[in-house]
Structure 1
């Protein structure tokens, strides 16, 4: 082989190698995942574990950087970023999804779930999976699967014996319509507020009570600023793993399948964790000096039925959701 031939062969090999590298770079993704929960929260840990799984499964071709604690904005802002493709992924409350797709408000029907295990079965039902299919067209996102937090409880300053004791109280809620309607019907003064502001607001009297799950009542020590914890288990609090539809359409079928498998695995583990841990956290709070009362649907009087009347007109699947929940009850 002449010198010129060798040179041409070397150049050809270099061009081929560079082409392969460029192709690889073009298909690699540095993905960003946002959520509102603090770094030590189970949702955040699930997101981080998913990122590690994806990097391992793709030999580092796809990585995920997790942004907890509203670093990328509120859930409404993150949803907008997902819709435009500015954000790749998010773990958002189903509450935020229901602001755009009202059918999802059915998950918040009062006493839909009998207990935390039942809540998990509802989220893993065929109906719940079918509802995700509407998200690309209606919300510009792809729904991978569901996670959840624990069932909702009420933490209050002052003694509470009946629902009448909550009337007029400024009660912190997650800002979405299903829970707003519930507390308006109860006669409280529901006050939307982001999670990072809750402890100080309860401490300084900006709010008199909060709607919260057992994990954060314990981990963020909300019980320290309360006189009564009302163990009501009155609502589920689902989460959904989302991918931007704009980002999704540019992914290969192989990447979509890998992301779906790995994210769904971590979301399912999230549900399983809450089924085990929710009661443990409540037991931890019960071990403090805070007063407890355990209540059922009768505590809220006609409010659950009135809520159903309102939401049967807004969510076309509420009746079907109640039927699916009844079918999965034990």
Structure 2
């Protein structure tokens, strides 16, 4: 592991190369997604649009599939300036910006339309702006999506079925608190370690959206899928703040527009692909619980909400829940 960390650090330095010469900008964008993931397609589109809108002044070099290190390392690299732009799941931002835990509260969002309304409101704008105190410029909200539970042991029909299962979760306190309340043994780890950990039995299961499960071949090492939709995970796209401020106003606006267009494409693709991939997962042998007892999960979610309210009050939670 130590050797791997050294290699990751070396890779970050090698790929840091933002070139600012004669008004031309080459930016390194790092993300977690596999080659077939919607985040890969969306960032490819975003890079193309930035190049077009800038008449070739802005070139974005993509580094997908966590090739510059795990998600936490990617964020650290962006804050330090060895990476220019990053897209990773919101839980990895919450390690230094706890206010963003709001978006990860279990059962906070009703559906995709509710998510869009909130993230495009003052609440979403302020959360992106809050990244600036950590040396990042929030460009847009990409997403991982609504999370579902898979495991290799048994069907999950209600919360009590999680008892004793060792499940990979994000490092987000809201996720960890909820799964403890539901009786599981939450085990945070970088996503790029999940497949091998499932295959070798280090963990019993994990929780991610259907498109993410399929595109990372988790059906090869998981038998059961339960469509709990227990939490939504945003994936903010953020840029090193100093690098962003170095750009002139026109190029800043171009990056923001390209980032937003890429986010819109990704969400559209996710809606389409979740339906397609759910059927493919069934065809490949996964047993799907389509209607788990969501009410049985609600009490366990309350602790995460209460923990957040103790630190930040109920105002933001209320703003989200009252959004129509």
Match of 2:238 in 1: 242
1:39 aligned to 35, 40, 50, which one? Answer: 35
Where do 1:1-330 residues align within 5 Å? 25-137=21-133, 139-160=134-155, 161-293=157-289, 294-316=291-313, 319-328=315-324
3-state DSSP of counterpart to 1:33: strand
Distance (whole Å) between structure 2 residues aligned to residue 89 and residue 144 of structure 1: 9
Distance (whole Å) between structure 1 residues aligned to residue 266 and residue 293 of structure 2: 26
- Which stretch shifts more, 163-172 or 285-294? 285-294
Cα deviation, 1:194-240, whole Å, max 9, x if unaligned, reads 22222222122111111111012222232232232111011001111
Structure 1 residue ranges without an equivalent (≥5): 1-23
* Paired residue total: 303
1:157 offset after TM fit, Å? 1.4
- TM-score by structure 1 length? 0.85
The CA RMSD over aligned residues, in Å, is: 2.0
Distance (whole Å) between structure 1 residues aligned to residue 171 and residue 110 of structure 2: 24
Match of 1:18 in 2: none
Distance (whole Å) between structure 2 residues aligned to residue 82 and residue 219 of structure 1: 26
1:320 offset after TM fit, Å? 2.4
Structure 2 residue ranges without an equivalent (≥5): 1-19
Distance (whole Å) between structure 1 residues aligned to residue 258 and residue 130 of structure 2: 22
When Rg is computed on C-alpha atoms for both structures, the one with the higher figure is: 1
- TM-score by structure 2 length? 0.86
Cα deviation, 1:238-286, whole Å, max 9, x if unaligned, reads 1111110011121111111111111111112222322333233223323
Distance (whole Å) between structure 2 residues aligned to residue 220 and residue 36 of structure 1: 11
1:92 offset after TM fit, Å? 2.0
Cα deviation, 1:84-105, whole Å, max 9, x if unaligned, reads 2221111121111222111111
Cα deviation, 1:89-124, whole Å, max 9, x if unaligned, reads 111211112221111111111111222333333322
- Which stretch shifts more, 122-131 or 250-259? 122-131
Distance (whole Å) between structure 1 residues aligned to residue 293 and residue 90 of structure 2: 24
1:76 offset after TM fit, Å? 1.8
Query: 1:182 touches 1:307 (CA, 8 Å); kept in 2?
Result: yes
Distance (whole Å) between structure 2 residues aligned to residue 296 and residue 307 of structure 1: 19
3-state DSSP of counterpart to 1:312: helix
Query: 1:33 touches 1:88 (CA, 8 Å); kept in 2?
Result: yes
